[in-house]
Structure 1
Amino acid sequence: MKRIVELFSNKYFLVSICFVAWMLFFDRNDLLSQYEYRSQLNKFKNEKAFYIAEIEKVKTDLDELSTNRERLEKFAREKYLMKKDDEDVYVIIREKSETD
């Protein structure tokens, strides 16, 4: 017991405890902030990986559209509802049911 009292009466120990408490809980970069920053960084890394994959997919689609005439025609028909002069285009829109 005497050793604990001596420890708490030591000014260096008290200053060290105050410093650690300040750095862990009250500082601008406390533990909670560091955890939030880390989780936000992981989220951004996942988004970056997703967008890099999407960019690669778009690049391959663009390359294929610029080289393959049939693929370009299919893309134009599906996305922009383009048609030939002697064709009719019917757009079917499905109504959402209550179970969807």
Structure 2
Amino acid sequence: MDRIHDIIERLRLTNRYVLAAVLFLVWMLTLADVDLLRMVKTHAERHDIETKMEEHRQRISELEADLEQLRTDPSAKERHAREAYYMHKPDEDVFVYR
């Protein structure tokens, strides 16, 4: 009889610990101010923003290189005017192929 009573008492203590652990996990996953789900979402958003920032940095570098080329090379200015604004000399016909 004492043995059964000891087993029941151990189960009660074990159940308390399991219940406490489950409640703690539920609280940490969903109810806390900085819960795990929000942290995962924020981490994904941060990664997306950093990726976009790197793309913008590359685009800025390309544009700065193009600007420097336009400032220094007269033929680049003419090429840009012809390609971007379809400018042409009075005696020319322009055909645009895409």
TM-score normalised by length of structure 1: 0.73
Name the structure 1 match of 2:66.
61
The residue aligned with 2:27 is 22
CA–CA distance in structure 1, aligned partners of residues 16 and 58 of structure 2: 60
Q: Report what 1:2 is aligned to.
A: 9
Partner of 2:40: 35
Alignment of 1:21-100 (within 5 A): 21-92=26-97
* Structure 2 residues not aligned, in runs of 5+: 1-7
**Deviation (angstroms), 1:28:** 3.9
Matched-pair identity in %: 29
- Could you tell me how far apart the structure 1 residues matched to 2:42 and 2:81 are? 44
Structure number with higher helix proportion: 2
Q: TM-score, normalised by structure 2?
A: 0.74
Count of aligned positions: 91
Matched residue, 2:4: none
Amino acid of the residue matched to residue 36 of structure 2?
A: L
Taking the aligned partners of 1:17 and 1:5, their CA distance within structure 2 comes to 15
Deviates more, 1:52-61 or 1:19-28: 19-28
> Which residue of the partner structure matches residue 96 of structure 1?
none
- 1:77 Cα deviation after fit: 0.5
The residue identity in structure 2 corresponding to 1:5 is: R
CA RMSD of aligned residues (A): 2.4
